[in-house]
A and B are shown apart, each in its own frame.
Chain A
Amino acid sequence: MTRSVSGGQVPGSPHLGNAVRGLVRRGMEIYSDSPQASAWLRMNLARFDEPLRVAIAGKVKAGKSTLLNALVGEEIAPTDAGECTRVVTWYQDGPSPQVLLHPKGSPPHQLSIHRRDGALSFDLGGTPVERIERLTVDWPSQSLRGTTLIDTPGIDSLSTDVSARSHQFLAPEDTPTAADAVIYLMRHLHSGDVRFLESFHDQRVAKATAVNTIAVLSRADEIGVGRLDALISAKRIAGRYRTDDKLRELCQTVVAVAGLLAQTGRTLRQAEFTALTALATLPRSEMDALLLSADRFVKSDIAADSARLDSSVRAGLLDRFGLFGVRLGVTLIRQGVTEPAKLSSELVRRSGLDDLREVLAIQFTERRDLLKARSALLALDLVLRKEPRPASQPLAVELERTMSGAHEFAELRLLTALRSGAVKMSKDDRLEAERLLGGEGSAPAARLGLDPMSDPREVRDAAMAALNDWRRRAENPLANRQVADTARVVVRSCEGMLAGLPG
């Protein structure tokens, strides 16, 4: 997530950020006599400078906490076979480890932290979950510096109030959400998933857009029932989901990730590597018999004799890797991986975590200011609608102008329209327009479909060509209005790119 991104910023972003900050400050002046409204706006102004808040949502047991651990690179979110996360938990960077419990309507208090085998756990101290608003976990971590991760209870959970808390948090009825962006995990495409994504959409700025949502096909290693080519299958399925019209309307993209593999890869221990290496020395037939089932792997006597691996060690391996992970790890070692670091990076690479991080960098980190501005405008909009005053009238006009006028928002709206198929144009044209509008990353090279390391001259020429091309379409008298409108916004994006390029 902290990956620095080469290439230019979103054109005009700082400008938009300042304009939005100005709007929120003016709102605070107007509502200075209303403690509730001004506190709300102050909080949202402060939020502007905080790290981006990314919520991890999805159905029960989709692997949310595991993915969070994989992204952070440490086992800080507790995971379990049963339903585990019952309270919304924020993981943020902090100078020292600390867990705060925020009960509803009373000040937070600190919880004690236990750490066993590197895994974090905390005791709610008897506070009933329905009385808890959220937990915040401060943890010194490079990965959390730019992004605060929010773990949420699963949707469609059996205890209906766990589901209710999740919906309430991610798609509250009348307030902007506390998260700037969402990673939505799904095991397979359930009808419940689509409805959930729909409910996440707010009504104003990014109306019905999927701009702040990325879908992850999680537990990807289980898709092929533990076969070694499982992840290839998972990627193929994610590819199919990406082209699914319905999903394109709901999220930016779909990535397949094997969360457990990623988590273990990032936290691989020397002892585990040694154990896997010992397993890899077994003759092929013995190993196949051993890896036939999870029960056999733990109970079998073969491994105890030949590889001198204790049953508890094997159970531990299975816990951390899963049967697929053990199979993959052993195969990799047999193929010549001899160092823990190499195995670790290979596991992470195969898990799809790298793909996810790249997508997060493009979709969320690069767009941080835009997403923040959007959250702040939503917050201001709420105040203006809830407590309209004569003095706030000009501000409402200004807000409306920013929403409809700022090119960044226009890009977002058009992207959504294109993705939803509302604009009738040929597929190639549509894909090119989406790319130029920043659908695959807002850096000029990404918009132009060029290599990120391309020569600035080349970038400039390509941008120029795109500008001329789309200008012609905008001015074509035969084009219908929708296409002409689309072309005009694309032209504006090209101009913005050219203005930001050196030379």
Chain B
Amino acid sequence: MAVPEAVTLVDLALKATTAYQRPDLSARLRHTRDRLADPSVRVLVVGEFKQGKSQLVNALVNAPVCPVDDDIATAIPTVVRYAESPGVTLVREPQSDSGEPLPPQRSQAPIEQLAQYVSEAGNPGNRHQLSYAEVGLPRRLLESGLVLVDTPGVAGLGSSHGAATMGALPRADAVLLVSDAAQEYTAPELDFLAAARQLCPNVACVITKIDLYPQWRKIVELDRGHLQVAGESTRMFPVSSTLRLHALKTEDQALMEESGYVELIHYLQRDVLGHADDLDRRSVSQDVLAVAEQLATSMKSELAAQEQPERAAQLIAQLTESRRRADELRQRSARWQQTLNDGVQDLTSDIEYDLRDRLRGVSREAERVIEQSDPKNTWDQLANWLEQQVSQAVSQSSLWAIQRAQYLATQVAEHFSQNGAALLPQFDYGAQDFRSANLQAIERPELENVSLFSKLFTGIRGGYGGFVMGGMAMGLAGASMLNPVSAGAGLLFGGKTLHDELKRNKQRRQSEAKVAMRRHIDDVTFQTGKDSRDMLRQVQRNLRDHFTSIAEQMTTSLNDAVVSAQKAVQTDEASRGSRIRDLRAELERIEHLADRARALDSSTARFSAGLSMVGVGR
């Protein structure tokens, strides 16, 4: 459990929502609790071929889990996480013929056979059709939920491997970009870094093999310069896996310092894990505060009516008006709903146009290439090139779609807040002593300090709202980025027939090649277009459900408030005194809950730093 105090708090709040019979709020809290129950913090280790990614993972956990080879070694991703005893799980995520994901198949394997499945030598071209391998290790570093993912080498952003890695980015809590000290960053590496930073809040650069290159300081300096030019401020860690492993064997503390791993592990523990914990704390704090606010509304209105019965009529009128407005928010005609619907429609057509435009460019370029050469000789190269171009176009388009969708979400949130945030009325409790009884904060929750966006979406990994956002980015990046890769197989199949059947004349071959190419691009356009439409529809549905349920919770609260205020008017003088005492006691309990939530939030060490890091899409 990453943050035990957060879990305790959610359980406490759950008890309160059950006691006050608010199943709608309980559902919301249960969701938050489910998110908390999975403590894993995924760190993706990415980079080009032969930069020492696997060795980095091995050195971190001090075990030869990822096979290392002088030639290309890693064929499929390896997920290293905590387990009581060492073990390997192989996971296959099959797809149905129409491309729909089927439930994953998991099988166990002895740990010493891992290399047979994850290495290029044991599993050439991934003939076992594995999606990834999961290694469990009893290591203290991993105990707090750290999950290391070793990925196959990426040859530039454009390749299909690269697109697959990109697709995994939104699901990652942090990314380590690995590059060795042999040379400074290349253009593809910097491109990848820039894209990674769009999709993942926490990216750091690791420079490996510093034991081997006397000039490594200069390379680090050069790299830092490149990052500055590109406007990136990314942490850099020069490390040597060889030295770390040697230091662990000989228990040499000085050598350990030299290896650079001390800082890297510190970063993983403090910044990555700490950041994830901060997010957990903050999202839980905000969820609980919101729930407390809702719970208090009805009691506070009754209290106000009990204390000043002469002004009850005015209060009831005010509450009824608020309820009407909250009710309006639930309607399809609400402004935020319109913003959402129009926005999704615009977005769908923009993204479709963008994708078509990019693919048309690819198609034109491909036609030019076909016209200049005889497809008989160049088809294989062309097919390969085409696949790269297409997957690059699709991933760029998806990246843009994610950013646009995130922006849309902010806009909807703003609209919602303009009409919705001020709905819960301010209560005027005449009695002065009551204010001093540390209840004042609940009148005006301090949530205003935090921008509404982060209140509703506490980052990818956050609570309830964050789940919506994370799911969205994941879906968008996952499906449409990975699909062109499988579509590539169809193209190659098309290429086979071209080889065998068309040997007669060049023009005929050229026109056949063009037809095959266009058909492929059409297929990709159709498939990706459908994927992104589906995804956006999903985004629309998620956002609508999310805001509607908030509006519903508010309506319920206000409804309760009206009813209790009306009841209060009918209370006789005699029981009024004791009722007020009861209400104050109840409110104090709720305020105690809110206090704990606020305390949880303020224990977040780098609150503002965390905020800027989760500022998705800004």
Contacts and interface: CB of A to CB of B under 8 A. Distances in A.
Asked if A pairs with B, the answer is yes
Interface of A: 59-61, 81-83, 156-158, 160, 163, 187-192, 194-195, 198, 203, 207-208, 219, 222-226, 230, 233-234, 236-237, 240, 246, 292-298, 315, 318-319, 322-324, 420, 422
B185 A158 contact: yes
A159 to B, nearest CB: 9
B388 interface: yes
Contacts of B214: 294-295, 297-298, 315, 318-319, 322-323
Closest 9 CB pairs of A and B: A293-B211, A233-B70, A61-B183, A81-B215, A294-B214, A191-B155, A318-B214, A226-B212, A81-B218
A191 B210 contact: no
Given A83-B184, A237-B70, A191 B159 contact: yes
Interface string B203-225: 00000011111111011001000
Contacts of B210: 293-295
B70 A188 contact: no
B487 to A, nearest CB: 19
Contacts of A191: 155-156, 158-159, 388
A158 B188 contact: no
B590 to A, nearest CB: 58
Given A191-B159, A191-B388, A160 B211 contact: no
A163 B226 CA distance: 16
A82 B70 contact: no
Contacts of A226: 211-212
A82 B225 CA distance: 12
A192 B188 contact: yes
Given A293-B242, A323-B212, A158 B49 contact: no
B388 A293 contact: no
A160 B183 CA distance: 17
Nearest to B229: A158
Interface of B: 48-50, 52, 55, 70-72, 155-156, 158-159, 182-188, 190, 209-216, 218-219, 222, 226, 240, 242-243, 246, 255, 258, 372-373, 376-378, 380-381, 385, 388
A294 B212 contact: yes
A194 B378 CA distance: 13
B228 to A, nearest CB: 13
A59 B55 CA distance: 25
B222 A294 contact: no
A190 B182 contact: no
A226 B246 CA distance: 15
Given A83-B184, A158-B185, A190 B376 contact: no
Contacts of A194: 381
Nearest to B50: A188
A160 B187 contact: yes
Nearest to A191: B155
A223 B243 CA distance: 17
A420 B246 contact: no
B378 A158 contact: no
Given A191-B156, A323-B212, A219 B182 contact: yes
Given A158-B226, A225-B242, A236 B184 contact: no
Contact of B48 (A160, A190, A222, A297): A190
B155 A190 contact: yes
Nearest to A197: B381
A223 B49 CA distance: 11
B258 A295 contact: yes
A198 B380 CA distance: 12
Contacts of B186: 59-60, 156-158
A158 B50 contact: no
Contacts of A190: 48-49, 155-156
5 contacts: A157-B186, A157-B187, A188-B49, A191-B388, A295-B211
Contacts of B185: 158
Contacts of B158: 191
A297 B377 CA distance: 52
Contacts of B215: 81
A80 to B, nearest CB: 9
Given A293-B240, A422-B377, 5 more contacts: A240-B71, A292-B255, A295-B258, A297-B214, A318-B214
B474 to A, nearest CB: 27
A324 B209 CA distance: 13
Nearest to B221: A82
Contacts of B50: 187-188, 223
Contacts of A224: 70
A324 B258 CA distance: 19
Contacts of B188: 156, 192
A161 to B, nearest CB: 12
A225 B212 contact: yes
Contacts of B159: 191
B156 A223 contact: no
A131 B246 CA distance: 51
Nearest to A314: B214
A158 B212 contact: no
Contacts of B385: 195
Most chain A CB within 10 A, of B49, B155, B183, B210, is at B183
A295 B213 CA distance: 9
B243 A60 contact: no
B184 A82 contact: yes
Contact of A82 (B49, B52, B218): B218
Contacts of A236: 70-71
B371 to A, nearest CB: 12
Contacts of A59: 186
Contacts of B242: 225, 292-293
Contacts of B255: 292
Contacts of A188: 48-50, 72
A198 B218 contact: no
Nearest to B222: A82
A259 to B, nearest CB: 12
Nearest to B226: A158
B209 A198 contact: no
B186 to A, nearest CB: 5
B377 A208 contact: yes
Nearest to B183: A61
A485 to B, nearest CB: 13
A319 B210 CA distance: 14
Contacts of B380: 246
A420 B377 contact: yes
B279 to A, nearest CB: 35
A422 B376 CA distance: 8
B535 to A, nearest CB: 28
A298 B215 CA distance: 12
A246 B383 CA distance: 13
B182 A292 contact: no
Given A82-B184, A293-B240, A323-B214, A158 B190 contact: yes
A295 B238 CA distance: 13
A98 to B, nearest CB: 31
Nearest to A193: B155
B211 A292 contact: yes
A59 B213 CA distance: 19
Contact of A158 (B184, B246, B381): B184
A208 B378 contact: yes
A467 B188 CA distance: 51
A198 B381 contact: yes
Nearest to A229: B70
Q: Which of B211, B226, B246 has the most CB of A within 10 A?
A: B211
Contacts of B243: 292-293
A294 B216 contact: yes
B70 A293 contact: no
B211 A294 contact: yes
Contacts of A156: 186-188
Nearest to A62: B183
A51 B62 CA distance: 56
Contacts of B226: 158
Contacts of B183: 60-61
B361 to A, nearest CB: 17
A160 B191 CA distance: 13
A61 B182 contact: yes
